[in-house]
Amino acid sequence: MCNWQIQSHSSLFLVTDDDKLASEEGMMLLIAAIMKSICEKTACWLIEAVVPIHFIDLNHEEDRKRDMERKILVTPGECCLHIIDPHSSLMNHIDGAEKVVRVMQLMIECAKILGVPIVASTQYKKGLGPYVEQVQNLVDTYDIPCQDKLEFSAYKNGDTVDMMKRVAGDVSTVILTGVETHICIYQSAAALLEMGLQPWIVADGVSSRKRESHILGLQRLQALGAVVGPAEMIIYELLGKAGTPQFKQILPHIISFDKKEQSDK
């Protein structure tokens, strides 16, 4: 058995249980075959110069373990939460704005309990004004650092990158919530991928003025390689198990969120 795997956008893996392919000679033969195929269809270029190729032999225990480690779930110590642009003047025009705001509140509360660093961005605050009150209150209460920007991509703003590195340190995953899905969320996620980081999009915690733009934005994000899922998915992923002090603190927030959801139906 042999298959290729791409991890983020920077590494290419050959996963095999074939001893011949796992050998150095087999590797070179395989690369030569790939190169021949490429040269017959397109201009010749050197694979190793584009992405590092890692050969993983599933017959070897260490390689099997390494292969599994690449699929590990996200933990609180390797991620941060980024709140993007929930200005009151903008949220007034966002599809499903009330739910998006509630999800942002839930994500902030849960991140604080789990010890996940939080940063925030505003988009030309002088023109768009303050955040919605519910989110602004939490930003003030927890003293969450917030950086203004003109760029639609938060991570094309140097001060925002510096803020994230200062607050969150060496993280591998950035959880995004805010607006708009097809503009600032999309461009911020794309920049994170370019930086070698994994964007995790809270699907019910982002939206756009038009629902169609939101849906198409999520589809594009998934195609790029961003992880997309609801708030509960990432919250329970970060918790890992029930019965912990963090679980007991977070559970009331989830119950309260669910009750508000039901009352809206």
* Residue ranges making up the domain that contains 205: 76-264
Q: How many CB atoms lie within 10 A of CB 140?
A: 11
Together in a domain, 106 and 160? yes
CATH of the domain at 87: 3.40.50.850
pTM for the model: 0.75
Query: What is the block-wise mean pLDDT of the chain (265 residues), using blocks of 10 residues?
Result: 44 48 56 57 40 47 52 89 98 98 98 98 97 98 98 98 95 97 98 97 98 98 97 98 97 95 82
**pLDDT tens readout for residues 10-20:** 444 444 445 55
Together in a domain, 139 and 87? yes
Together in a domain, 125 and 251? yes
Together in a domain, 180 and 232? yes
Q: Which of 69, 90, 107 is the last residue of a domain?
A: 69
Together in a domain, 104 and 64? no
Together in a domain, 22 and 101? no
Q: Which of 44, 69, 94 is the last residue of a domain?
A: 69
- How many domains does the chain fold into? 2
Distance between CA atoms of residues 152 and 224, nearest Å: 17
Together in a domain, 44 and 92? no
The identity of residue 124, as a single letter, is Y
Q: Which of 38, 69, 100 is the last residue of a domain?
A: 69
Q: Name 173's Cβ contacts closer than 8 Å, sequence gap at least 6.
A: 74, 78, 79, 80, 197, 198, 199, 200, 227
